[in-house]
Structure formats: structure tokens, C-alpha cells
């Protein structure tokens, strides 16, 4: 029994010692922060934020993210239509003059038993309100490119904008509302191992 305990302790210590987090730098030219929301209950409007940054650390052997923080410049919202983007920046929506940043800070990460997927939980701050959200994560194997090592990841989640005080809407004559409440978030990241 004593030898079994010693063996298990050695295995656990060995696993702990071999776990090594590396810093991953975001390549903004190959990364995107995208959102999708229903319009008139019949179609989706897709937009993205052009300016964002973050700090990521991961154990690449275990395919586990150990640190993830992100900051998005809300003024950089872009749906391809200037009039709509200006409305999104107004107090009806993001109110960027008062809340210029959208933030996320990971609090936990659970790796799936299968493949390269995981579940990330963290504190999401939008419009001055912070709530816990969950993101599903897929991570690629590291690849060598020129003189660096690259890792890709996709994060997907969903929020209700009303949970964050974004309640502007218009009623439709046929019933329903002009802007949906559920917002789908997709973050596509290409990172460089430091």
C-alpha cells in the first residue's frame, strides 16, 4: 500500500513538473472578434470589433489554457454600414463614450476528454455590467511557420444583451422585436508562441 501511494505521488509530481505554460501572442492581422444577432426575427446581422488585445498562456502538451484575458475597443465596432455602426456606439447600445471597453477574464478552464476542445468560464464586462459566461474552445496543434511556432484557437459562446443593460428595441407591426436578445460570439485567434 505504501509503495502504491509513493508511485501515485511520483506520477502526480511528474505530471505537475512537466506541465509548462507558454505565452501566446495574438496575431491581430489573422484574428477576429465576431458577433451575430437576429434582425427583424428573420435574418442575422454580423459584425466584428477591429481593435482588440489580450494575454494568453497555455500548456500546449496538455492542450489546456491557463490564462486568458481580453480587451475589445467598443468604438471599433464594424458591421459594414456606417450609420448602423454609429447607432451601435450611441447610448442606445454600447454607449462607447461611457463604456469604451469590453473585457473578459478567464476564471476556469476544463479540458474535454476527447480531442482538443475545452470549456472556458470567465467574467465578461459589457456596458459596465460584469457576469460570468462560458465559451467553448477548440485549439490546434502547434505548427512551425518560418521562424516561429503558431497555435490557432476558436472560442464560441452566447450572451443575452439585456443581461448587460442593452435593451433598445422597436416593436414590429406583425409582432416581435426588431433586434434579437441573443448574441452569438465567435473569436478566431492565430497566436505565436513566445
Q: Which of 89, 190, 98 is nearest to 149 (CA)?
A: 190
Thinking of the domain 20-193, which architecture would CATH place it in?
Answer: Beta Barrel (2.40)
**pLDDT for residue 12 is more than 50:** no
Assigned C-alpha cell, 89: 456606439
pLDDT of the residue at 118 = 94
What mean pLDDT is predicted for residues 40-67? 93
The predicted-structure confidence for 131-190, as pLDDT tens digits, reads as follows: 999 999 999 999 999 999 999 999 999 999 999 999 988 888 777 778 999 999 999 999
**pLDDT for residue 15 is more than 50:** no
**pLDDT for residue 101 is more than 60:** yes
**Residues 146-149: contacts with CB under 8 Å, at least 24 apart:** 148/192, 148/193, 149/192, 149/193
pLDDT of the residue at 7 = 43
Residue 77, burial from CB neighbour count under 10 angstroms (0-12, 13-18, 19+): buried
Q: What is the signed CA dihedral for 85, 123, 70, 50, rounded to 10 degrees?
A: -10
pTM, two decimals, is: 0.85
Kindly tell me the number of DSSP H helices and DSSP E strands found in the chain: 2, 12
Average pLDDT, the chain: 89
The predicted-structure confidence for 31-48, as pLDDT tens digits, reads as follows: 999 999 998 887 899 999
Amino acid at each position: 500500500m505504501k509503495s502504491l501511494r509513493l508511485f501515485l505521488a511520483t506520477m502526480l509530481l511528474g505530471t505537475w513538473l512537466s506541465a509548462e505554460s507558454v505565452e501566446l501572442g495574438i496575431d491581430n492581422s489573422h484574428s477576429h472578434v465576431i458577433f451575430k444577432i437576429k434582425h427583424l426575427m428573420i435574418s442575422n446581422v454580423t459584425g466584428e470589433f477591429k481593435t482588440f488585445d489580450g494575454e494568453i498562456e497555455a500548456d500546449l502538451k496538455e492542450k489546456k489554457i491557463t490564462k486568458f484575458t481580453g480587451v475589445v475597443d467598443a468604438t471599433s465596432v464594424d458591421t459594414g454600414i456606417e450609420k448602423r455602426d454609429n447607432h451601435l456606439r450611441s447610448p442606445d447600445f454600447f454607449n462607447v463614450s461611457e463604456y469604451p471597453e469590453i473585457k473578459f477574464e478567464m476564471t476556469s478552464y476544463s479540458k474535454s476528454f476527447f480531442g482538443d476542445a475545452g470549456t472556458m468560464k470567465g467574467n465578461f464586462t459589457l456596458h459596465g455590467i460584469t457576469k460570468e459566461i462560458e465559451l467553448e474552445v477548440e485549439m490546434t496543434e502547434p505548427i512551425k511557420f518560418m521562424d516561429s511556432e503558431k497555435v490557432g484557437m476558436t472560442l464560441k459562446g452566447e450572451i443575452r444583451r439585456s443581461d448587460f443593460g442593452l435593451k433598445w428595441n422597436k416593436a414590429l407591426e406583425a409582432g416581435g422585436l426588431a433586434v434579437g436578445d441573443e448574441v452569438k460570439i465567435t473569436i478566431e485567434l492565430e497566436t505565436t508562441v513566445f
